């Protein structure tokens, strides 16, 4: 039985499609995100988050620039959209470990954060 070129192309695409989907889903987190965070709905702060996902490791920076904070620990599950990040941040010599739990969905990242003294939520959109 001889396969026609169109049949071969269809079979090749069918075999590659799951891999292509995994790459596009997995990379839904890479890029620049902006939004706000805070302990209450009326006490908010602007934030920018830059993330890079290589398929295994998530790395990133909060508020890139001279006052940037590099993520100390981060993970991403492309199947569920779950994100976990930890960062040491603060000012005037006082550093706190922020623990951040989030979900990525339809170009949005939302979740909660806490450190030893406060907790709150955040909402970011991908730019």
Give me the CATH number covering residue 10: 2.40.128.120
Beta bridge partners of 126: 33
Q: How confident is the model at residue 18 (pLDDT cuts 50, 70, 90)?
A: very low
- Token pair, residue 61, equals 């920076």
Q: How confident is the model at residue 93 (pLDDT cuts 50, 70, 90)?
A: confident
The pLDDT > 90 percentage for the chain reads 71
Span 23-77, pLDDT tens digits: 444 489 999 999 999 999 999 999 999 999 999 999 999 999 998 999 999 999 9
Number of domains in the chain: 1
What is the Cα–Cα distance from 98 to 84, expressed in whole angstroms? 11
Q: Are 85 and 74 in contact (CB under 8 A)?
A: yes
Rounded to 5 degrees, what angle do the CA atoms 126, 71, 98 make?
95
Q: For residue 98, give its domain range.
A: 5-126
Q: Are 125 and 102 in contact (CB under 8 A)?
A: no
């Amino acid at each position: 039985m001889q396969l026609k070129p169109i049949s071969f192309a269809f079979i090749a695409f069918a075999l590659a499609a799951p891999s292509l989907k995994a790459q596009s889903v997995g990379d839904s987190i890479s890029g620049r995100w902006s939004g706000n965070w805070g302990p209450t709905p009326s006490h908010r702060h602007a934030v920018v988050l830059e993330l890079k996902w290589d398929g295994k490791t998530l790395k990133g920076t909060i508020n890139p620039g001279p006052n940037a904070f590099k993520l100390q620990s981060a993970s991403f599950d492309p199947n569920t959209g779950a994100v976990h990040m930890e960062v040491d941040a603060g000012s005037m010599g006082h550093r706190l470990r922020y623990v951040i739990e989030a979900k990525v969905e339809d170009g949005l990242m939302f979740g909660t954060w806490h450190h030893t003294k406060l907790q709150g939520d955040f909402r970011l959109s991908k730019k």
